[in-house]
Structure 1
Amino acid sequence: MSAEEFRALHERVRERTRRGPDDRRGTLGYLTPDRVVAAAREVTTGRTVSLAAPVDTRPGPDNPEPARHRMKAPDLARQPSPGLQFALDRFAMNVHGDVDSHLDALCHVLYDGTLYNGVPAGSLTPDGAVELAVDVARDGVVGRGVLLDIPRLRGVPWLEPGEQVTADDLTAAEAAQGVRTGPGDVLLVRVGHRRRRREHGVWNTAEARAGLHPEAVEFLVDRRVAMLGCDGNSDTAPSTVQGVDFPVHVLTIHAMGMQLMDYLQFEELVPVCEEEGRWSFLCAVAPLRLPGATGSPVNPIAVL
């Protein structure tokens, strides 16, 4: 896709999802109270499944800045003393890495010098984002989750790095799985990244990964999806758009106002969906309340 074709797509997506100039919630506006109530009716067995991967503290080709976890207390070199003690620890994380499950806020992507809905880049300060930070989702995102399994559709264990998911793939997966994505849904797209990483070994995902074709974003527009999550980061590498490395991030976050969840894991959810014979469920997403932050670690929960 040429730079001109991408700009035309960006403008088309923005116009089709345009809201008032004061909007700061973007596609979360599709999650109306009645849709949350309807999503709660998806619960029939009460089974819960985490959609996050364990936080990875090991360095590797896809994790040059791993999360750090250290015990602060007690002093493990000394014998425990009588009476009360507390075990204490500290975490540090590069939220937007290529391994740990996280949510991208609407202030995460700048394109042509602005954030979503024309918010100026000057709203990003050394102390954090003044607008569009992850705190926009402080009350949580609770709605109907839909998992579309593209490797299952294609009869393979995973998509190879560089392969792309098209809008036709998403529609075909719906038909094969007997489900349809609708307004306010949390759409989850499996490309098999986690399984490939586990069985094939780690690699530099910044240079090679499976993801969505930019034109597949129009599927999200058509269906009025509230949030997108992937077991990769939704973008293919290398990018097929001239001069834009993360076109899906630009189209969803910047043009649509859609928060993304990157590097989730669905390997525990897939067998449950197959056993239950359905691919929709209640999905609860609760980012940390981090005022001014561009994202948050996240552990979404599917409730069937």
Structure 2
Amino acid sequence: MSSSPERRVSRREFDAIFTAVRTWGRWTPADRGAWNRVTADHVRRAAALVRSGTAVPLGLPWDTRTGPDNRKPALHHMTDLGDVEAPEPSTYKDFLAADYHGKAVSHLDALSHVAYEGRLYEGRRAREAVDAGGARFGSVAALGPLVTKGVLLDLPAVLGVDWLEPGRAVHAQDVLTAERALGVTVDAGCAVLLRSGRFRRSRELGPWNSDAASAGFHVDAVPLLAERAVALLGGDGDSDLRPSPVEGVHSPVHALAVAAMGVPLLDNLDLEALSAACAEAGRHEFMLVVAPLDVPGGTGSPVNPVAVL
């Protein structure tokens, strides 16, 4: 596995990668992007991976506490405490809200979430497609539920460490090495989940500002993922390496995956229980079920994906 200092990537090099992995004009409906790859056959093959029936939730708890990794805490308060005297029964209700595009809420990024040089996926002009009323192209409502094969790239398990240190890049060669070590195959229509061990590190050493430093994919891994025709990308971070290796681009993997490839992202998944379940089962492939909220015009959705082994 690579441990060399991270190579900086010029804007010109990045733009060449963006052009090389771009899939604009490939699918109808366009605002489903790479999710169009997932057919009924993919779902049946994913279901065939279920053996023990173990279901592992991947979403984080709803976090209402402020911290270095949660500068905009989610909201939860009660709106009904059973105060109505009649008629029976009494009821108890609550309110939830979140500015979920951050580091503390498990969520899905739809294709309207990221623009590069002012353009969303398919080359749609972001200012024409997204306004104060929401997204008219690439909304999370266009995606619907996704069921497909999930592949856990458990890099700490491969390396024999508890976690990847913040700032550690995952290169294309790391992906290939992990496939061999874990006995998995990243193939067309699958969902790739990268475990860096972020939440184990956070629980043992305390939270930190992962906007400043986090393990994630280097841009040189993206052409391999594009070649393998993945449908979904995610992890216990936000897939991006931080600090960014690309000059002038703070989230290059977001730009490449969402705006160029049409691949939605799953951010901030808790993969610790899944890591343990996969190790116990001796396999790192499973059925993954993702059901975003149907939010017309939404640029994403909080989610609690489920892996079934």
Q: Normalized against structure 2, the TM-score is what?
A: 0.93
Aligned pairs (5 A) from 1:5-84: 5-14=13-22, 19=26, 23-74=30-81, 83-84=88-89
Q: How does 1:116-155 map to 2 (within 5 A)?
A: 116-121=121-126, 122-138=128-144, 140-155=145-160
Once residues 28 and 282 of structure 2 are traced to their aligned partners in structure 1, the CA distance between those partners, rounded to angstroms, is 43
Residue 44 (structure 1) shift = 1.1
Seen in structure 2, the aligned counterparts of structure 1 residues 84 and 252 have a Cα distance that, compared at 3 Å, is same
Mark the CA change 1:192 to 1:18 in structure 2 (over 3 Å): closer, same or farther. Answer: farther
Structure 2 counterpart of 1:186, from 191, 214, 218: 191
Aligned-pair distance for 1:82?
8.1
Match of 1:300 in 2: 305
The whole-number CA distance in structure 2 between the counterparts of 1:234 and 1:191 is 10
Residue type of the alignment partner of 1:5: E
1:263 aligns with: 268
Three-state SS of the structure 1 residue aligned to 2:272 is: coil
- Name the CA distance, whole Å, in 1 between partners of 2:56 and 2:296: 28
- RMSD (CA atoms): 1.6
In structure 2, the partner of 1:165 is 170
Structure 2 CA distance for aligned equivalents of residues 103 and 169 of structure 1: 25
Q: What are the superposed Cα offsets for residues 229-251 of structure 1, whole Å, 9 maximum, x if unpaired? A: 11000111111100000000000
Identity, in percent, stands at 46
Give the letter aligned to residue 156 of structure 1: V
CA distance in 2 between counterparts of 1:232 and 1:34 reads 30
Alignment of 1:231-246 (within 5 A): 231-246=236-251
Tell me the distance in 2 between the aligned counterparts of 1:187 and 1:201. 27
Contact kept, 8 Å, 2:27 with 2:36, in 1: the verdict is no
The answer to whether 1:104 aligns with 2:109 is yes
| Residue of structure 2 equivalent to 1:86 | 91
Task: Give 4+ residue runs of structure 1 displaced > 4 Å after superposition.
Answer: 78-82
- Structure 1 stretches of 5 or more lacking a match? none
Q: TM-score, normalised by structure 1?
A: 0.95
Structure 2 contact 164–197 (Cα < 8 Å) conserved: yes
Gaps of at least 5 residues in structure 2 are 1-8
Give distance in 1, aligned partners of 2:247 and 2:131.
30
Alpha-carbon distance in structure 1 between the residues aligned to 2:213 and 2:135: 30
What CA distance in whole angstroms lies between the structure 2 residues aligned with 1:177 and 1:74? 50
Q: Secondary structure at the match of 2:22?
A: helix
Check whether the contact 1:21–1:117 (CA below 8 A) recurs between aligned residues: no
SS of corresponding position for 1:24: helix
**Aligned equivalents of 2:284, 2:261: Cα separation in 1:** 25
Q: In the TM superposition, what is the alpha-carbon distance from 1:83 to its structure 2 partner? A: 3.3
Pairing 1:216–2:221 present: yes
Give the Cα separation in 2 of the matches to 1:13 and 1:131: 21
Aligned partners of 1:18, 1:203: CA distance in 2, in Å? 40
Distance 2:142 2:22 in 1: 20
CA distance in 1, matches of 2:25, 2:185: 24
